[in-house]
Amino acid sequence: MKFVFVVNRNAGKGRVLKQWTALEARVAELFDDYEVVFDLAPIPRDADVIVAVGGDGTVHYVVNYLMTSGGGAALGILPLGSGCDFARNFDASDPLAVLAHGARRQIDIGEIESAGNKIWFANVADAGLGAEVTRQMSSHSRNYLLSTLKALLGYKNVEVKLSADDVEIYAGPLKCLVIANGKYFGDGMGIAPDALLDDGLLQYVIIGNISRIMAAIKLQQTYKCTHIKHRHVHYGCARELRLEVSSPLAFEADGELMARMPVGEVVYASALAKALTVIC
């Protein structure tokens, strides 16, 4: 098999390149046929396995390439970035050995469609506060907790309507909507304890009209990967979600900011059952 390692030199505040350099000798020992590309360079189309070397953003880039290339390659993960929440869903004690000897597994992929455009995510997408945290991290601080506190101070709830599988399930103020394929986001927060990568469903977490202080407290509790117990926090699962908003709303997928959702636009999030092969 031909492995292509996609190395994101900007991931982990630039640490990934040093880590990759230290691993290159072992890579040469384990893989007979491999190639290395850096950052956003074109990915060879004859790859059998494309390995995301970096964090969740690198996984996001590779997944979106795989979903549009039609080549049938599998996804591999070498989690070296600052945010590696997708990799937490797998055994990552020795990721290079897993890549060389691991089994293949079919997993679901989340698809977001808005205004005729599609984007895919492997792990978690969210609207509202979570996206504002991502914005803070991209422009100010790489510390997730500090960015969350800054985002909480300035965030104002947005009135939304949310339907799951054609049934309206929520109408009211939204602080955050999490749409999860995997369990973790935010550098280890177990935001969706019931999420499974291969059940054909997306887990959703609606954080509604909850105070800033209470939101900060409750989000910290998710590091134990347990449900938030609050009357304005709701959990469920669906094959497809439909979101409408009364004010512009920030959106992100796998830690990558998307265009702000304008009023009048509808966003659909769907689970594509076992649409991707992962080496795990």
Which pLDDT belongs to residue 166? Answer: 97
Say if residue 261 is in the same domain as residue 126.
yes
Domain that holds residue 32: 3-102
In this structure, is residue 108 part of a structural domain?
no
- What is the pLDDT at residue 243? 97
37 contact partners, CB below 8 Å, separation of at least 6: 4, 5, 6, 7, 43, 44
279 belongs to a structural domain: no
C-alpha of 176 from chain center:
15
Q: Are residues 57 and 120 in the same domain?
A: no
**Of the candidates 74, 102, 130, which is a domain's last residue?**
102
Number of domains present in the structure of the chain: 2
Nearest to 193 by CA among 101, 116, 89: 89
Instruction: List, in sequence order, every beta strand (DSSP E) within the chain.
Output: 3-7, 34-38, 49-54, 74-79, 104-114, 117-121, 124-128, 158-164, 167-174, 176-180, 202-207, 233-238, 240-245, 251-253, 256-257, 266-279
Same domain flag for 173 and 229 = yes
pLDDT on residue 278:
97
Query: For the whole model, what pTM was predicted?
Result: 0.93
Same domain membership, residue 255 and residue 166: yes
Distance CA 104, CA 127 (A): 32
Which residue blocks in the chain are alpha helix, DSSP H? 15-30, 56-69, 95-101, 129-139, 144-154, 212-221
pLDDT, residue 81, reads 77
How distant, in Å, are the alpha carbons of 9, 36, 160, 181, 184 from that of 195?
Answer: 31, 33, 23, 6, 9
Q: Note the pLDDT tens digit of each residue in 256-277.
A: 888 788 898 899 999 999 999 9
For 70, the 3-state DSSP assignment is: coil
Same domain? 262 vs 187: yes
Q: Using CA atoms, how far apart are residues 276 and 278, in angstroms rounded to an integer?
A: 6
CA–CA separation, 137 vs 142, rounded Å?
Answer: 5
Residue 280, domain member (yes or no): no
Specify whether the backbone of 154 is left (phi greater than 0), alpha (psi in -120 to 50) or beta.
Answer: alpha
Q: Single out the residue in 102, 125, 140 at which a domain terminates.
A: 102
Tell whether 87 and 127 lie within a shared domain.
no
What's the farthest any 2 CA atoms get from each other in the chain?
56
Q: Which CATH number do you get for residue 179?
A: 2.60.200.40
Do residues 37 and 97 share a domain? yes
Boundary of a domain, candidates 82, 102, 122: 102
Q: Are residues 96 and 119 in the same domain?
A: no
Of the candidates 269, 4, 250, 227, the residue with the CA atom closest to the CA atom of residue 120 = 269
Q: How far apart are CA 231 and CA 78, in angstroms?
A: 39
What pLDDT, on the 0 to 100 scale, is given for residue 140? 60
Residues in the chain: 280
Structural domain contains residue 109: no
DSSP state for residue 224 in the 8-state scheme? G
* Domain shared by 39 and 139, yes or no: no
What is the residue-averaged pLDDT of the chain?
Answer: 91
Residue pointed to by tokens 């049934």: 167
pLDDT mean for each 10 residues of the chain (280 residues) = 93 86 95 94 93 94 94 93 88 88 95 92 93 76 70 86 98 96 92 97 96 87 94 97 93 87 92 96
Supply the CATH number for residue 9's domain. 3.40.50.10330
Q: Could you read off the pLDDT of 27-75 as tens digits, one per residue?
A: 999 999 999 999 988 999 999 999 999 999 999 999 999 999 987 999 9
CA angle 172, 173, 177 (to 5 degrees): 100
Q: Are residues 258 and 160 in the same domain?
A: yes
Instruction: Find all residues with CB under 8 Å of 18, minimum gap 6, and list them.
Output: none
